[in-house]
């Protein structure tokens, strides 16, 4: 990587914008392509209304984030997607948000059907040129936006030959509520709420990323004890969602014991979060500078006891899966993603680790308590439904270990008086704040203007990277295996749609 | 097989005894706010300023609160210098009319009355709902979904989520109704055979919630369809949702419970 093209920083570090090299657009894109070819990962590529461009290239081995920027003179440039598939959705997003045309993009379609996009003309969600396979026996299956079940809306088009899926195209945007734009001009009283509702099931993951960005830009440190409590919050969120996912996977292969048990146990995990902060999703638990609700020793003790009990139930319910031949048979035969393709398209989180990619923000770009209290990264090799289930199972055990240690520590450590914090943000600065949500890497890129207000707030939910992975997993599968494959990813629609 | 049976024995029977008894609620749960009258210092606007969604306004008789907007974040309680606002653990929040969500000292929440006449006869013992997620954060869906699990076992009340609107007696909607979901919501509603009910779950579905200032959404389902039941919260506790559904069906009144 050409070091002169980048500012090399770390997760949750504020940097003066002037320190980030301002490149010529052509050099900017060449630097991205070269860095990705050398093994860096394109964690974020975004633009703003002034046609400024920003790129974040993660080196997960070295724990660094390389930042570059540029400014276009006119809203067009030569697309890098043909040489760098990781850029494919980012380029489409910049085109939709700011009318910046990536010339030569092979797949330039709407991302979210933004009604208030640059064109100003009304758009109809789901109306676009879908990829079609032609042939006498080929047929098309269209599903959504309203699905059977309590699920978020999205549209799926399958190109099928008999039962075999040749291609799946996923068209989202139904949940688009304009959150990135709403954050511009902040922080204001609703900003934290916007972060928590990027994806409600990742309230802590996104809320923490928001808090961490503000803390970095305001130049304040958060006491290690409070960071430990945040770790408890994040791992409880992971426990609830992984438990729910494994139960739902069991349900999708008709294995009812685990499905029934886990449905209930997921609620038990959510109740532990509610015990700590009053909300089952952890709403308002965190705040910039610290916590709204602390875990006093007595509460930590009660929580630790309940954690042990709920973990016993969880383990008992999930271990049944690995002894059931019918379950393993179905899990192992479905939804394989090729590890080479997984790297090429930039998968993150559980689906990436299920392809053997060693990647976890908690380990690679440690934040909060994770530098001093590391967690092991769970991995599997086959990239199929079983691998994704297995990674979740391993992560449950590891998160539980973290919880027990952290809660035991908090039991012995009463809260200290926290000084009031001045949250004035540094002007003309940039911060990339990442957390490892239960789905994977949550990234917030925050840029301030001359008066320290947000001039751009970019959010990359792990689902943004991973929806294309689901499409790849479906190739060559049967239509009837879609629910199982879909559940094994369990991606967020609202986190993608923002 | 023996392992499954052993697990079944270990996990036991865990369906909550509600509505015979109330399940334990978390100590920090923020449920129905209690508002004290006549205690506000003249000119104090602390609560109003603290509220991120303009759900609360001072008035001579005390704070007036719109639970349809409230996110139950508790910031008003934190900033009130006189302790006038206090979130209680009372989970019961569902009402029939949007207007009933306006509360102030001396005005109790008018909890949802049961359906009447033909609707009560048709739906009182069997309510099939098509759940529509329309632009929220998927938080309300989490707690709507959980009612279907063994712990809550919605089916024992004759309530069931169904896959097709054709099989439904009404829709249960979460989210503020984004512009991109408006057509889908209308079509889903139209596909439900009448007579039918509409249930709005969460601040978004009632008023747009935290997204109420966004042009990309419609400010809740009430802007499109007549709403029969409003269940406030961000998100509401599952017990709040269940309480609302059972009240609508007259199941709590007739059994004289809770």
* Residue A100 reports pLDDT greater than 90: yes
* pLDDT tens by residue, A45-64: 999 999 999 999 999 999 99
In this prediction, residue A117 has a pLDDT band, given cuts at 50, 70 and 90, of: low
Q: What pLDDT is stored for residue A418 in this prediction?
A: 78
Q: Hey, are the CB atoms on A200 and B136 less than 8 Å from each other? A: yes
Taking an 8 Å cut-off on Cβ atoms, the answer to whether A284 and B73 are in contact is yes
What pLDDT is recorded for position A150? Answer: 83
CB contact under 8 A, B53 and A190: yes
Best of A114, A174, A314, A318 to mutate (most B CBs within 10 Å, chain B): A174
Contact criterion met (CB < 8 Å) for B175 and A175: yes
Report the pLDDT value the prediction gives residue A118, as an integer from 0 to 100. Answer: 53
> Does A145 reach chain B within 8 Å, measured CB to CB?
yes
Distance from CA of B25 to the nearest CA of A (A): 8
Per DSSP (E only), the strands in A90-154 are 101-103, 138-143
Taking the C-alpha atoms of residue A347 and residue A201, their distance in angstroms, rounded to an integer, is 20
Residue A454 confidence (pLDDT): 97
Percent of residues, chain B, with pLDDT higher than 90:
75
Taking residues A435-443, what's their average pLDDT? 97
**Contact (CB, 8 A) for A249 and A219:** no
In the predicted structure, residue B258 carries a pLDDT above the cut 60: no
Closest among A493, A488, A459, A487 to A90, alpha carbons compared: A459
Nearest to B180 among A176, A196, A261 (CB): A176
Quickly state the pLDDT bin for A415 (edges 50, 70, 90).
confident
Question: What confidence tier does B25 reach under pLDDT thresholds 50, 70, 90?
Answer: very high
The average confidence (pLDDT) of chain A is 94
Q: What is the mean pLDDT of chain B?
A: 92
Q: Could you state, in order of their start, the residue ranges of all structural domains in chain B?
A: 33-91, 117-254
The pLDDT, as a whole number, for residue B61 is: 86
Is residue B232's pLDDT more than 60? Answer: yes
Chain B touched by A174 (CB under 8 Å)? yes
3-state SS, residue A185? coil
Rounded CA Rg of chain A: 22
Instruction: Report CA dihedral (B85, B86, B90, B93) to the nearest 10 degrees.
Output: 30
CB contact under 8 A, A189 and B71: no
Determine contact, residues B123/B197, Cβ cutoff 8 Å.
Answer: yes
Q: Say which CATH architecture domain B33-91 belongs to.
A: 2-Layer Sandwich (3.30)
Residues of A in Cβ contact (< 8 Å) with B12: none
CA B133, chain centre distance (Å): 14
**CB-side neighbour CA atoms (13 Å) of B157:** 32
Residue of A115, A278, A280 with shortest CB distance to B216: A115
Q: Cβ separation of A263 and B10 shorter than 8 Å? A: no
Give residue for tokens 């050398």. Answer: A38
- The confidence score (pLDDT) of residue A3 equals 79
Share of chain B above pLDDT 70, in %: 98
pLDDT at position B128:
95
Q: Do B27 and A125 touch (CB under 8 A)?
A: no
Check CB contact under 8 Å for A203 and B234. Answer: no
CA distance B135 to chain A (A): 4
Contact criterion met (CB < 8 Å) for B133 and A283: no
- For position A80, what pLDDT does the model report? 96
Write out pLDDT tens, residues A26-49: 999 999 999 999 999 999 999 999
Of A252, A261, A493, A480, nearest in space to A386 by CA = A252
CA distance A299 to A280: 16
Q: Which residue has the tokens 């729910």?
A: A244
- Please tell me the distance from the alpha carbon of residue A359 to that of residue B19, in angstroms, as a whole number: 47
Mean pLDDT of B19-28: 91
> Rounded to an integer, what distance in angstroms lies between the CA atom of residue A270 and that of residue A200?
13
Is A277 an interface residue toward B (CB < 8 Å)? yes
Question: Which pLDDT score is estimated for B49?
Answer: 93
Residues in chain B: 258
Residues of A whose CB is below 8 A from B147: none
Band (B253; pLDDT cuts 50, 70, 90): low
Q: Which of B23, B180, B186 to mutate to test the interface with A (most CBs of A within 10 A)?
A: B180
Q: A117 touching B, CB under 8 A?
A: no
pLDDT, mean of residues A286-314 = 95
For residue B20, pLDDT beyond 90: no
Considering only CA atoms, which of B81, B71, B82 is closest in space to residue B33? B71
Chain B interface includes A294 (CB < 8 A): no
Mean pLDDT, range B73-81, rounded to an integer: 93
Please name the residue of chain A whose CA is at the shortest distance from the CA of residue B30. Answer: A278
Cα(A213)–Cα(B181) distance, rounded to whole angstroms? 32
- Identify the structural domains of chain A with CATH numbers, from first to last: 3-103 (3.30.460.80), 138-171 (no CATH), 186-454 (1.10.645.10)
Contacts 24+ apart (CB under 8 A), A131-137: A131/A157, A131/A159, A131/A167, A131/A169, A132/A159, A133/A159, A133/A161, A133/A166, A133/A167, A135/A161, A137/A161, A137/A162
Q: Is A283 within 8 Å of chain B by CB?
A: yes
Q: A267 pLDDT band (50/70/90 cuts)? A: very high
pLDDT of residue A342: 95
Give φ, ψ of A4 to 5 degrees. Answer: -65, -20
Sequential DSSP letters for A24-76: -HHHHHHHHHHHHHTT-EEEEEEE-TT-EEEEEEEETTTTEEEEEEEE-SSSE
pLDDT 10s digits, A347-384 = 999 999 999 999 999 999 999 999 999 999 999 999 99
Is the confidence at residue B255, as pLDDT, over 80?
no
Average pLDDT over residues A469-497: 95
Classify domain B117-254 at the CATH class level. alpha beta
The residue of chain A with its CA nearest to that of B188 is A146
Give the residues across from B133 on adjacent strands: B174
Residues 6+ apart with CB under 8 A from A318: A243, A246, A258, A262, A393, A396
Cβ B139–A200 below 8 Å, yes or no? Answer: yes
A45 CA: distance to closest CA in chain B (Å): 24
A residues 426..485 contacting B (CB < 8 A): none
**Cβ contact, residue pair B133, A152, below 8 Å:** yes
**Percent with pLDDT over 90 in chain A:** 90
Residues of B in contact with A323 (CB under 8 A): 3
B210-230 residue pLDDT tens: 999 998 899 999 999 999 999
Report CB contact under 8 Å: B181, A175. yes
Chain A closest-CA separation from residue B189 CA (Å)? 11
């Amino acid at each position: 990587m050409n070091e002169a093209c980048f500012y090399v920083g770390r997760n949750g570090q504020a940097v003066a914008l002037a320190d980030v090299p301002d490149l010529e657009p052509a050099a900017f894109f060449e630097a991205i392509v070269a860095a990705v070819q050398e093994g860096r990962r394109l964690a974020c590529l975004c633009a703003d209304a002034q046609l400024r461009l920003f790129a974040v290239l993660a080196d997960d081995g070295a724990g660094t984030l390389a930042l570059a920027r540029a400014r276009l003179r006119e809203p067009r440039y030569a697309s890098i997607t043909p040489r760098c598939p990781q850029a494919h959705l980012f380029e489409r997003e910049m085109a939709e948000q700011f009318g910046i045309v990536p010339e030569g993009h092979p797949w330039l379609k709407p991302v979210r059907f933004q009604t208030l996009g640059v064109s100003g003309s009304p758009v109809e969600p789901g109306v676009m040129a879908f990829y079609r396979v032609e042939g006498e026996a080929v047929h098309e299956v269209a599903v959504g936006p309203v699905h059977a079940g309590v699920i978020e809306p999205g549209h799926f088009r399958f190109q099928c030959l008999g039962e075999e899926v040749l291609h799946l195209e996923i068209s989202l945007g139904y949940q688009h509520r304009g959150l990135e734009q709403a954050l511009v001009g902040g922080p204001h009283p609703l900003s934290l709420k916007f972060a928590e509702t990027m994806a409600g099931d990742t309230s802590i993951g996104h809320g923490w990323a928001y808090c961490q960005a503000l803390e970095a830009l305001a130049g304040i440190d958060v006491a290690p004890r409070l960071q430990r409590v945040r770790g408890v919050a994040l791992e409880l969120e992971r426990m609830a969602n992984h438990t729910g996912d494994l139960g739902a996977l069991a349900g999708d292969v008709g294995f009812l014991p685990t499905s029934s048990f886990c449905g209930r146990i997921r609620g038990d995990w959510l109740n532990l979060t509610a015990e700590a902060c009053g909300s089952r999703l952890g709403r308002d638990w965190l705040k910039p500078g610290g916590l709204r609700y602390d875990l006093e020793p007595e509460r930590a003790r009660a929580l630790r006891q309940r954690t042990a009990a709920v973990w016993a139930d969880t383990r008992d319910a999930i271990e049944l899966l690995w002894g059931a031949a019918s379950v393993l048979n179905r899990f192992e035969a479905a939804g394989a993603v090729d590890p080479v393709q997984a790297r090429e398209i930039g998968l993150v989180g559980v689906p990436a680790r299920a392809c053997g990619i060693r990647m976890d923000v908690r380990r690679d770009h440690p934040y909060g308590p994770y530098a001093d209290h590391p967690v092991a990264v769970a991995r599997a090799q086959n990239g199929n439904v079983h691998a994704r289930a297995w990674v979740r199972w391993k992560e449950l055990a590891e998160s539980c270990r973290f919880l027990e240690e952290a809660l035991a520590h908090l039991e012995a450590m009463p809260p200290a008086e926290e000084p009031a914090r001045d949250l004035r943000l540094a002007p003309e600065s940039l911060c990339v704040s990442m957390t490892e949500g239960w789905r994977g890497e949550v990234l917030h890129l925050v840029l301030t203007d001359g008066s320290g207000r947000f001039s751009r707030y970019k959010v990359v939910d792990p689902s943004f990277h991973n929806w294309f992975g689901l499409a790849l997993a479906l190739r060559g599968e049967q239509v009837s295996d879609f629910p199982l494959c879909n559940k094994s990813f369990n991606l967020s629609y609202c986190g993608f749609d923002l | 097989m023996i392992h499954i049976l052993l697990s079944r024995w270990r996990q036991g029977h865990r369906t909550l005894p509600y509505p015979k008894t109330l399940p334990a609620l978390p100590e920090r749960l923020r449920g129905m706010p209690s508002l004290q009258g006549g205690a506000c210092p003249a000119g104090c606007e602390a609560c109003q300023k603290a509220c991120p969604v303009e759900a609360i306004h001072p008035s001579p008789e005390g704070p007036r609160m719109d639970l349809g907007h409230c996110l139950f974040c508790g910031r008003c309680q934190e900033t009130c210098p006189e302790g006038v606002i206090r979130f209680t653990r009372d989970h019961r929040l569902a009402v029939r009319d949007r207007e009933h969500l306006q509360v102030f000292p001396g005005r109790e929440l008018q909890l949802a009355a049961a359906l009447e006449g033909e609707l009560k006869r048709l739906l009182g013992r069997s309510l099939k709902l098509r759940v529509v997620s329309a632009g929220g954060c998927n938080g309300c869906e989490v707690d709507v979904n959980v009612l279907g699990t063994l712990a809550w076992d919605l089916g024992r009340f004759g309530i069931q989520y169904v896959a097709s609107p054709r099989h439904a007696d009404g829709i249960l909607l979460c989210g503020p109704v984004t512009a991109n979901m408006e057509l889908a919501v209308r079509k889903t509603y139209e596909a439900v055979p009448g007579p039918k009910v509409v249930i709005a779950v969460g601040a978004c579905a009632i008023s747009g919630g935290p997204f109420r200032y966004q042009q990309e959404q419609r400010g809740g389902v009430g802007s499109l369809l007549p709403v029969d039941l409003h269940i406030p919260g961000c998100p509401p506790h599952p017990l709040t949702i269940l309480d609302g559904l059972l009240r609508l069906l007259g199941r709590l009144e007739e059994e004289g419970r809770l």
